[in-house]
Structure 1
Amino acid sequence: MKDCCNHDDIVEIKHEHTHPKSTAVAEDEHSHDHGQADGPQWKQHLGLLIGLGILVCVLVMDYGFGIQLPKWISLAVNAFAYLLAGWGVLKLAIRKVMRGDIFNEFVLMSVATLGAFYIGEYAEGVAVMVFYSIGEWFQDAAVDKAKASIKALLDIRPDEVTVIRDGSAKVLNARTIKLDEIIQVKAGEKVGLDGELLSNQGAFNTAALTGESRPDTKYKGDTVLAGMINLNTVSEIKVTALFQDSKLSKILEMVQDASSRKSQTQLFISRFAKVYTPIVFFLALALALIPYLVVENYVFNDWLYRALVFLVISCPCALVVSIPLGYFGGIGLASKNGILFKGGNFLDVMTKINTIVMDKTGTLTKGVFKVQKVVVADGISEKELIKLAAILESNSTHPVAKAIVDYVGEAIGDEKATEVEEIAGHGLVGIIGDKEVLTGNLKLLKKYDINYPKELTEIIDTIVVLAINKKYAGYITIADEIKEDAKEAIRQMHALNIKTVMLSGDKQAVADQVAKIVGIDNAYGDLLPEGKVAKVEALKNEGRHIAFVGDGVNDAPVIALADAGIAMGGLGSDAAIETADIVIQNDQVLKIVTALKIGKLTRNIVWQNIGLAMSVKVAVLSLGAFGVANLWEAVIADVGVAFLAILNAVRIQRKKV
């Protein structure tokens, strides 16, 4: 449990990945250890257990056998039990008061329990401290369990890998492996580092990265990522990224950073607690003193008792503990489904989205292009045209460029392009030998005032046009394929009353064709990056709450502009992933719907906790003020509602979406 007045995120896994023994909060911010210390739990709370035992014995003697101890003995026994159970709370309360932090949970509990001793209610004072500490113990256990499950979900990198050095296999720490070294992964083992598959093929379980347990067959030259599980044969992999630079490390970093980005609800509750707690102190003081002026037969101890009940039940722990845990549970559930939220604030944003704007290539389509046809102009052969295109396109990471390079294969040779310039939304310009070569779309030729046949504008398929020395040289048609789940994803978005828009740099005819197949509401083609930005700005000016989904470098500006930027992480560029607020690891369009549902689920559970905590507290506060509720009921209500709220928050991770 955290300090109600100085609250940070209750679940902070960043330190746990670097220092496994460290706690989520510093020792001076908490009276307990969150189960992180070595040794069994009962040893860590031995004083509490002894205090509980003494309390039970005293109550059995008093109520069970009617044995009344002398007052001084009763005081000594109860005080001993009280100190055993509550010494940590008292110590932290004193430390905070000395720092000028008076209005906090620990001071509140100390004042309430010491007040009970003052009015002679020794057993109740001990009971409040014991049950409060027990409640905290169980709450810590719930928090630790949530943290452990999320950490186990994410931190799946093996610490050791088998590396081939000097012709023999050696098991070494993964952090010591260098680039271009060869590691060996046996069947059933996890891949420890990102790399390129050297074996002819292998089947891998990618669930830890993508949320999909379906085996993914990789072939020689394909990328294999840390965290994947080798399913059948022994595989050899050439390391292409250091341990700290692997894609899984970046995923861990994203989720760790997410805990520091609070939602608006979290920020409100933190501010609320800072104002609420001192108000409660002064209300309790007023409850004890003001009746002296207006009530006949005023008895100070009676009204002080009511004030103590008021103090105990007023603690806002259930809110400031369970709400951040709820948001982190949402982040954990999303990670389990292959979706990375970079902060709890973006879970809130997804609940407000009413318009999904999508890029076409790599988002709605697979982005795996294949060359279909090569058409040349007079004066150049098909072989020369496609080779020049491949040499220049080898300088681009665009899926269309990769399709051309793969089509040419080894025939590309050793020749390189120089003075290469990539013009966003247009294509590439470079020098190959004594030729100036342009490859790209028709907008590129228009930009350089190069004439081309008018019939090119009537071709629906994606085409790459070429010009050599400022003269049109031919074109290449490229075919893409729509993702299998795209149509169903759009249908589900419409079922959630979400408007769908597609923005594409391809021709309007291509955009219209894809939109018609999948059921997109509106499609806009022939757009440069600035054109996409303009369209999103126009939608925002209409009052729409927008999530933009893209995967390419040219999508980064519009991802940043949208209320929620979503990057398709599997095929996406690093620029898009870094800019995005949410990353979808396996490129499935349906995961966008999953992200929307997780956002709404998290919001519902958070508000359930707020409603539960506030309703119970208001009810018991009222009963306490009128002298109906006692300290026993107050502490049970406080600890109970906090525990129920935390259990409610933790259950997010078990939900299926």
Structure 2
Amino acid sequence: MAEYRIEGLSCANCAREMEEEIQKLPHGKDAKILFNSSKLSLPEEVDLAKVERILASDGAAIIKDSQQPSSTDRPRKEIDWRILILISALLFTAALIGQDSLPSPAVIALYLAATAISGYRTFIKGIKNLFRFKFTIDTLMTVALIGAFSIGEWREGTMVAILFGLNEYLEGLGMEKARSSMAALLEVAPKEALVIRGGQEKKIPISELRIGDAVLVKAGEKIPSDGRITHGKSSVNEAALTGESMPVEKEKGDFVYGGSINNEGTLKVEITKLYQDSSLAKILHLVEEAQETKTPTELFINQFAKYYTPAIMVIAALVMLVPPLFLGGDWSSWFYQGLAVLIVGCPCALILSSPIAIVSGITRNARNGILVKGGTHLEQLGRIETIAFDKTGTLTKGAPHVERAIVYEPELFYQVAGAIEKHSSHPLAKAVMEEVAQSNVSVAEAEEIQSVAGQGVTAIVGGTRYYLGNEGILSHLQLDAGVKADIEALKHSAYTLVAAADDHRVLGMFGIADQIRSESPQLIKQLQEAGIKQTVMLTGDHEKTAEKVAQKIGLTDYAAGLLPDEKVQKIKELTKQSATAMVGDGINDAPALATADLGIAIGKGTDSAIETADIVLMQDHLGRLPAAIAISKRVNRIIKSNILLTLGLKLIALLLTIPGWLTLWIAILSDMGATIIVTLISLTILVETKKEKEIL
């Protein structure tokens, strides 16, 4: 499939019609016009010249590579269109002013000139469609214009042509604003890299980068692709990837992402991924694809529009014929009313009610480091009532942490624990060493360290033998009641026990647990405020640990001791009750993520997270999930209000035919008003609300 950029694509309904025409060409069955991103996906066997003719019939054209516009440049075509509308308006004004002083033919000529300048495209397409018996908005407008002029309504017919031209321009302007916002987001991709080859520094396009290349990234420059720092130290802005504005400190050996900005100094980076395989490239590709997925609402509107326009034509015919034939109405006035009904039949505002809002919502989330893989998932996120969370690495940090220390011999306890665990790589040892470091006690070296199977270790520190491990390591001692009570208290709180002792007494003990993320309690509170009714934790840990974490965080429910297949079963139960999202790390929770109505992964650029879930939080925390839900709910509300507003205005216009009050002016203004309001309301999604600022 070949892909082309298109200019002049302003009407969603027209884009659908052109797509259908192209699909009728030989080999064109799989052709797609991607309206939201203004692109054409075309099988290479299709005759491009015929495709260009179809596009030209609607004022669209393929942009050649040398003509690619930047996101800040508006196509010249739109500037010309504004000038044409202005000229038409001036001619119309001249006709109005001169209607009493100029000869009638001159006034009519001015009206016709104004109509031709602003409505020639519509008229040409409408005439072609009439001969094909194809009833589109252009057909409706052409019939209405011919009808208006045939009964001498020169002024109103011309005004309809000008307003319809302005309406089409505003449609294109609104969609272009949403596209420009997306294009600005996509421009974070680096263009060139300063590579070192053969001892020489050379600037090359990122497409020519190879794995293993050494590149220099100077202060203020973008890192060209994913890689590892081999020389230098700096803070790096990863906002393009994560949406986080705070820089991250990086040094030799650290991994960096393509598109990140080096804030100071010079970094030497070894490229570990080709740009097209980098995290940023995958994200940008998915964001572009996400624009074009049709939501259930959009599919319904498109299907509805196919029947809506013919139905309007039938209603218009009835308005023209029934009152004069059966109710003694005046043929001229009811013919005029029927023409106005035709204009009311324009489905453009209705079709536009969803795509601008969807693109704006996806763009807003992407700016915040939230990757939504399509409009369907964006809509679904706004309907979620239950969220199930994996515990480890999601609500907790996934790393052991000393939650409680019971110390009988303060200095000796920390000295012994530090000496024995100093060189261990075990996760529990790291937790102990973090606690020892905070005690500011000097740590000696341990000798003759020996492992005791299933219990812990024993070693000599300062000439004395000490023991460190779980409750079993204390089996050589007769424990007094106080120590036994402390051990039971730690076990009851679901802590992992690490105790230190010598041959005669217990020196102290640590209660270790997976550390709850600091933002988790606030997160759950914000989710509940955002309308999430049920928050459930699914974990393989035992009951006591799960209960403690759930209580601390404020979850509504939890399920403990679950195997992966049992998590899936639990998700199935939840989805039967309400729309359910599953939040996990995108690897271990893949089955549950796939089973839920919506899978949400914490990623920060990891391939597995990007590929697994429907929505990816590119940070390593859940802090932005409430904002994503708030944005999606806002998108859903706006789409519903757009549809109701559009249909409401059209219904009011149609009801005006009953007393005979509907005019061509009212008809076109009802559609134009709907288009303007729908566009402006949809674009407000790009603006951050006060509530969203508070969440972020």
TM-score bin, normalised by smaller chain: 0.7 to 0.9
Partner of 1:55: 92
**CA distance in 1: counterparts of 2:357 and 2:298, whole angstroms:** 10
Partner of 1:27: 55
**CA distance in 2: counterparts of 1:462 and 1:306, whole angstroms:** 81
- Structure scoring higher RCO (CA < 8 A, sep ≥ 6) equals 1
Partner of 2:336: 305
- CA 1:40/1:544 → structure 2, altered by over 3 Å: closer, same or farther? closer
Q: Does 1:586 align with 2:619?
A: yes
Q: For the Cα contact (< 8 Å) 2:324–2:334, is it kept in 1? A: no
Residue 328 of structure 1, aligned match among 359, 368, 371 = 359
Report the more deviating stretch, 357-366 or 196-205.
Answer: 196-205
SS of the aligned residue for 1:505 comes to: coil
Instruction: In structure 1, give the amino acid aligned to 2:352.
Output: V
SS of the aligned residue for 1:366 comes to: strand
**CA distance in 2: counterparts of 1:613 and 1:288, whole angstroms:** 24
**CA distance in 1: counterparts of 2:211 and 2:340, whole angstroms:** 64
**CA distance in 2: counterparts of 1:624 and 1:316, whole angstroms:** 19
- CA 1:494/1:83 → structure 2, altered by over 3 Å: closer, same or farther? closer
Partner of 2:13: 4
Partner of 2:582: 548
Partner of 1:511: 546
Q: Does 1:184 align with 2:216?
A: yes
Partner of 1:598: 631
SS of the aligned residue for 1:161 comes to: strand
1:641 deviates by 1.7
Q: For the Cα contact (< 8 Å) 2:137–2:345, is it kept in 1? A: no
**CA distance in 2: counterparts of 1:28 and 1:478, whole angstroms:** 70
Matches within 5 A, 1:484-633: 484-495=518-529, 496-541=531-576, 543-570=577-604, 574-633=607-666
Could you tell me the TM-score, scaled by structure 2's length?
Answer: 0.74
Instruction: In structure 1, give the amino acid aligned to 2:119.
Output: G
**CA distance in 2: counterparts of 1:125 and 1:109, whole angstroms:** 10
- CA 1:513/1:15 → structure 2, altered by over 3 Å: closer, same or farther? farther
Question: Where do 5+ consecutive residues of structure 2 fail to align?
Answer: 1-9, 18-32, 42-50, 64-68, 404-419, 435-453, 455-469, 474-489, 498-510
**CA distance in 1: counterparts of 2:571 and 2:79, whole angstroms:** 58
**CA distance in 2: counterparts of 1:34 and 1:149, whole angstroms:** 21
SS of the aligned residue for 1:157 comes to: coil
SS of the aligned residue for 1:126 comes to: helix
- After superposition, the C-alpha distances for 1:304-358 in whole angstroms (9 at most, x for unaligned) are 1111111112312112013111112111111121111111112221232221101
Residue 374 of structure 2, aligned match among 331, 343, 352 = 343
- CA 1:38/1:618 → structure 2, altered by over 3 Å: closer, same or farther? closer
**CA distance in 2: counterparts of 1:99 and 1:248, whole angstroms:** 47
Partner of 1:174: 206
Partner of 1:427: none
SS of the aligned residue for 1:587 comes to: coil
1:281 deviates by 0.6
- CA 1:12/1:29 → structure 2, altered by over 3 Å: closer, same or farther? farther
Report the more deviating stretch, 253-262 or 230-239.
Answer: 253-262
Q: For the Cα contact (< 8 Å) 1:187–1:234, is it kept in 2? A: yes
SS of the aligned residue for 1:310 comes to: helix
- Identical aligned residues as a percent: 34
**CA distance in 1: counterparts of 2:312 and 2:271, whole angstroms:** 60
- CA 1:481/1:94 → structure 2, altered by over 3 Å: closer, same or farther? farther
- After superposition, the C-alpha distances for 1:549-589 in whole angstroms (9 at most, x for unaligned) are 01142211110100111011127x53343231111111322
Q: Does 1:220 align with 2:252?
A: yes
**CA distance in 2: counterparts of 1:623 and 1:42, whole angstroms:** 36
**CA distance in 2: counterparts of 1:562 and 1:28, whole angstroms:** 45
Q: Does 1:111 align with 2:143?
A: yes
Q: Does 1:67 align with 2:98?
A: no
Q: Does 1:89 align with 2:111?
A: no
1:639 deviates by 1.2
Q: Does 1:142 align with 2:142?
A: no
Q: For the Cα contact (< 8 Å) 2:232–2:266, is it kept in 1? A: no
- After superposition, the C-alpha distances for 1:388-418 in whole angstroms (9 at most, x for unaligned) are x9xxxxxxxxxx79x99xx9xxxxxxxxxxx
Q: For the Cα contact (< 8 Å) 1:12–1:256, is it kept in 2? A: yes
**CA distance in 2: counterparts of 1:569 and 1:135, whole angstroms:** 43
SS of the aligned residue for 1:487 comes to: helix
- CA 1:155/1:625 → structure 2, altered by over 3 Å: closer, same or farther? farther
- CA 1:547/1:215 → structure 2, altered by over 3 Å: closer, same or farther? same
1:637 deviates by 2.3
Matches within 5 A, 1:145-544: 145-296=177-328, 298-368=329-399, 460=494, 480-495=514-529, 496-541=531-576, 543-544=577-578
Could you tell me the TM-score, scaled by structure 1's length?
Answer: 0.78
SS of the aligned residue for 1:4 comes to: helix
Q: For the Cα contact (< 8 Å) 1:314–1:621, is it kept in 2? A: no
- After superposition, the C-alpha distances for 1:514-557 in whole angstroms (9 at most, x for unaligned) are 3232222333333221121121122234x132100011422111
**CA distance in 1: counterparts of 2:216 and 2:557, whole angstroms:** 49
**What is the root-mean-square deviation of aligned Cα atoms in Å?**
3.6
Question: Where do 5+ consecutive residues of structure 1 fail to align?
Answer: 17-22, 373-381, 390-399, 408-438, 440-452, 464-476
Q: For the Cα contact (< 8 Å) 1:128–1:632, is it kept in 2? A: yes
- After superposition, the C-alpha distances for 1:611-641 in whole angstroms (9 at most, x for unaligned) are 2212222222222453323212322221122
1:26 deviates by 7.5
SS of the aligned residue for 2:210 comes to: coil
- CA 1:109/1:643 → structure 2, altered by over 3 Å: closer, same or farther? same
- After superposition, the C-alpha distances for 1:242-300 in whole angstroms (9 at most, x for unaligned) are 1111111111122122123222221221121111111001100110011122232x432
Q: For the Cα contact (< 8 Å) 2:11–2:171, is it kept in 1? A: no
Q: For the Cα contact (< 8 Å) 2:582–2:599, is it kept in 1? A: yes
**CA distance in 1: counterparts of 2:234 and 2:57, whole angstroms:** 50
**CA distance in 1: counterparts of 2:532 and 2:595, whole angstroms:** 22
Partner of 2:5: none
- CA 1:536/1:3 → structure 2, altered by over 3 Å: closer, same or farther? closer
**CA distance in 2: counterparts of 1:259 and 1:120, whole angstroms:** 46
